[in-house]
Amino acid sequence: MISQNPFAEFRKECEGILRETLDKATLREASKQLIFERPPVLDFGQLASSICFELAKQVGEKPFTLAERLVKAIDKSKFSLVKDVAAAGGGYINFHADFAKLSALTIESVRRLDASYGFVKADRPLKIIVEHTSVNPLHPIHIGQARNPMLGDAVAKMLAYRGHKVSRHYYIDDVGRQTAVIAYGYEKLGRPKPTEKLDHFIGKIYTITSCIVEVNRLKKELELAKAVSTEDEIAKINKELDDWVSVAFELREKYPELFEKLLEKISQDKDPERSINELNRAYEAGDEKARKLIREVSELCLEGFRETLTRAGVSYDSWDWESDLVWSGLVTEVLQRLKQTPYVFVLGGVLEFDAGKVVEALNLWNKLGLRKDYAVPSLTLMRADGTTLYTTRDIAYTLWKFERAEKCINVIGMEQTLAQTQLKIALYALGYSQHAENLTHFAYNLVTLPGYKMSSRRGRYITLDEVMDEAVKRAYEEVSKRSPQLTEEEKRKVAEFVGIGAVRYALVEVDPSKPVEFNWDRVLNFERNSAPYIQYSHARACSILRKASRKPKNQSYELLKEKLEHELVLTLANFPEVFIEATEMLKPNLIADFANALADKFNTFYNAFPVIKAEPHELSDARLALVDAVRIVLRNALNLIGIVAPEKM
């Protein structure tokens, strides 16, 4: 017998046994829903039911007495994967697995199913769009933003392995003031030919241009304030100006030639702020000159992104331009439809959407997970100058996505929770309640670096490129130390996938709701909880199988009697259930945790018992088959989170 989910077979048998016994005891009603727990200790069994605690009062017995009575009534002739059932712990019914049979089922299933083992298919496959990364094309992807593509790619992989038809989308946010700023600076420089990696080149221009423009704007604002504003207002502007002047000093020190050239060119413009705003409006309106300029700059930056993300093992099925939505008329159409609802009003020439009113009118508190005392702020749809805001355009983009999918997942930082909630409320207001319910905001927390404060406006950030370079360099040093017998080419190849894998794992293994502290000692630890540690465990399993120079043929699984062997079998049997839970809950960290726990158990087993030299020969074959199964499951788990499982390290 081969099973895609061995532990589910064991659970099904336990449920059948208990249900039949309850029926015999005329407790049929209690058997409608049976819940099993996992005992904390292997010796207590592999599943336990607390049903007797619930039934005790009904039948007028103590829980333990009832448990004993039910256990005595069990028909043991129907046992297959179950070896024994016992009353325990004041009223629990504990089910013990027949490890000879469970080991045979699990190990043979893993080895026969191989690359497909564990990936239980969904009953109803869906068309799903996972939108992730979507970093604005302004500067290189930095480590603070890098968690998004790693989580998004892992989620997309998990859903695809679950049998869903998944499409990975990158939303290019090229409409708005920021892209106008970078295009303005780029044009002032005469559209220069890049002299370095494209996104790094664009990032420098953006940071310096933004700084010079802000200093210029604040100086004008200060002059005006001195004539009409209070001392407090003047002090506030002065403080902000001082801050930007310090940024300018820092940028001039870092990039003297580029800074001076931009300062000279921008100083020739009497009103840079006005020029940028005009460029922004022209682009949103579809002006041909503005379109060519901003698209050119954006494409340069995106080309740099593609290079970075390809190296990280992240790919996309669609690159969706925000501007295309605007120019197609979809955004205008959405605005018109929102205006026809009773939830839109004009305030000082600004178009506002009363999201709170929608929540009250449609009673959305529970659906949105909001407290009734929470006042949802209104959403600005359009500024007085006629330009739209990001969330307005995102409403149109969401409707566009739902024309192509049944479910949409937006991988966006938790700081965007309000905007994502307002987006859902807008869908409800437009009558798209099903879309709203099938839209998931996959929120994640920040990445921090100990002792380093990132600031995009100061150009002070550590790029993902730099992090990957450093990870590969450190991995090369470690691999050279541990495996001097490898050729130089092999060392470089191993260092690349170990370094990249280490970065990916570090950004995925923490629960998305918690912040990640990026620490090199943890990221590249070969001894515990890291990608290199798990990769090394996989390579060790491959090495054992190579050294054995034979495939197990005469394995006798009843000889696998050690507690560590049973724990390994259980872990392998549980992989499909971990996969299902991780995918349904969108928690890639559960896969990382599982892979690490399996690596831990495998290394403990390897250090405690012989495999190739085990006696008798049938035990050696059984252990070789177990090692092979560990190899397969480690590889399958790493594949889910986009990490290479090497055969040598």
**How far is residue 309 from each of residues 149, 313, 446, measured CA to CA in Å?**
8, 6, 19
The CATH number covering residue 325 comes to: 3.40.50.620
The tokens for 454 are: 């990132």
Judge whether 423 and 396 are in contact, CB under 8 Å: no
What is the pLDDT at residue 457? 66
Q: Single out the residue of 143, 134, 41, 129 nearest to residue 92, CA to CA.
A: 41
* Tens-digit pLDDT profile for residues 434-473: 999 999 999 999 998 877 777 776 777 889 999 999 999 9
User: What percentage of the chain has pLDDT greater than the value 70?
Assistant: 99
Judge whether 378 and 356 are in contact, CB under 8 Å: yes
Residue 87's DSSP bridge partners are 93
Alpha carbon of residue 150 to chain centroid = 6
520 and 485 in one domain? yes
On the question of pLDDT at 577 being above 80, the answer is yes
* Element containing residue 169 per DSSP (H, E): strand 165-172
Judge whether 573 and 7 are in contact, CB under 8 Å: yes
269 and 191 in one domain? yes
DSSP 427-467: HHHTT-HHHHHTEEEEEE--EEBTTB--BTTTTB--BHHHH
Let me know if residue 44 belongs to a domain.
Answer: yes
* Tens-digit pLDDT profile for residues 122-163: 999 999 999 999 999 999 999 989 999 999 999 999 999 999
Domain final residue, candidates 77, 97, 117: 97
181 and 167 in one domain? no
* DSSP code at position 135: -
Look at the chain and report how many structural domains it folds into: 4
Burial of 553 per CB tally in 10 Å (0-12, 13-18, 19+)? exposed
Judge whether 284 and 388 are in contact, CB under 8 Å: yes
What is the pLDDT at residue 521? 78
Let me know if residue 315 belongs to a domain.
Answer: no
What's the rounded Cα separation, in Å, for the pair 459 and 448? 16
What's the rounded Cα separation, in Å, for the pair 73 and 97? 19
Quote the mean pLDDT of the chain: 94
Judge whether 119 and 475 are in contact, CB under 8 Å: no
What is the pLDDT at residue 529? 80
On the question of pLDDT at 77 being above 70, the answer is yes
595 and 529 in one domain? yes
Let me know if residue 240 belongs to a domain.
Answer: yes
Burial of 127 per CB tally in 10 Å (0-12, 13-18, 19+)? middle
431 and 488 in one domain? no
The CATH number covering residue 619 comes to: 1.10.730.10
In this prediction the pTM is: 0.93
CA–CA–CA angle 418, 412, 420 (5° rounding): 25
634 and 496 in one domain? yes
Question: Per-residue pLDDT averaged across 621-642, rounded?
Answer: 98
Question: Per-residue pLDDT averaged across 533-546, rounded?
Answer: 96
Judge whether 325 and 400 are in contact, CB under 8 Å: yes
What is the pLDDT at residue 473? 93
Number of neighbours of residue 159 by Cβ within 10 angstroms = 22
Q: How confident is the model at residue 523 (pLDDT cuts 50, 70, 90)?
A: confident
How are beta strands 344-347 and 350-353 bridged, if at all?
A: antiparallel
618 and 477 in one domain? yes
Full residue range of the structural domain in which residue 139 is found: 127-174+320-448
Torsion of CA 445, 447, 451, 453, to 10 degrees: -90
Question: Per-residue pLDDT averaged across 75-83, rounded?
Answer: 93
Let me know if residue 112 belongs to a domain.
Answer: no
608 and 551 in one domain? yes
Question: Per-residue pLDDT averaged across 528-540, rounded?
Answer: 92
* Tens-digit pLDDT profile for residues 489-508: 999 999 999 999 999 999 99
* Tens-digit pLDDT profile for residues 329-372: 999 999 999 999 999 999 989 999 999 999 999 999 999 999 99
Domain final residue, candidates 448, 480, 512: 448
476 and 429 in one domain? no
How are beta strands 47-49 and 92-97 bridged, if at all?
A: antiparallel
User: What percentage of the chain has pLDDT greater than the value 90?
Assistant: 87
Let me know if residue 121 belongs to a domain.
Answer: no
Question: Per-residue pLDDT averaged across 552-557, rounded?
Answer: 94
* Tens-digit pLDDT profile for residues 393-443: 999 999 999 999 999 999 999 999 999 999 999 999 999 999 999 999 999
What's the rounded Cα separation, in Å, for the pair 395 and 333? 11
346 and 214 in one domain? no
Up-side HSE of residue 390: CA atoms within 13 Å toward CB? 14
Tokens 């002299």 sit on residue: 195
Domain final residue, candidates 385, 419, 448: 448
357 and 250 in one domain? no
Q: What residues contact 368, with CB distance under 8 A and at least 6 apart?
A: 359, 421, 424, 425
Judge whether 335 and 391 are in contact, CB under 8 Å: no
What is the pLDDT at residue 181? 97
Let me know if residue 206 belongs to a domain.
Answer: yes
The tokens for 528 are: 């515990």
165 and 182 in one domain? no
Let me know if residue 104 belongs to a domain.
Answer: no
What is the pLDDT at residue 31? 59
The tokens for 178 are: 């920021």
What's the rounded Cα separation, in Å, for the pair 603 and 595? 12
Roughly how many angstroms between the first and final C-alpha of the chain, as a whole number?
Answer: 35
* Tens-digit pLDDT profile for residues 234-283: 999 999 999 999 999 999 999 999 999 999 999 999 999 999 999 999 99
* Tens-digit pLDDT profile for residues 202-245: 999 999 999 999 999 999 989 888 888 788 889 999 999 999 99
Per 3-state DSSP, the chain is made up of helix, strand and coil in percentages (nearest 5) of 60, 10, 30
Three-class secondary structure of residue 283 per DSSP: helix
Judge whether 133 and 424 are in contact, CB under 8 Å: no
Judge whether 426 and 379 are in contact, CB under 8 Å: yes
What's the rounded Cα separation, in Å, for the pair 474 and 27? 63
Residues in the chain: 649
What's the rounded Cα separation, in Å, for the pair 279 and 181? 9
Let me know if residue 313 belongs to a domain.
Answer: no
Question: Per-residue pLDDT averaged across 563-571, rounded?
Answer: 97
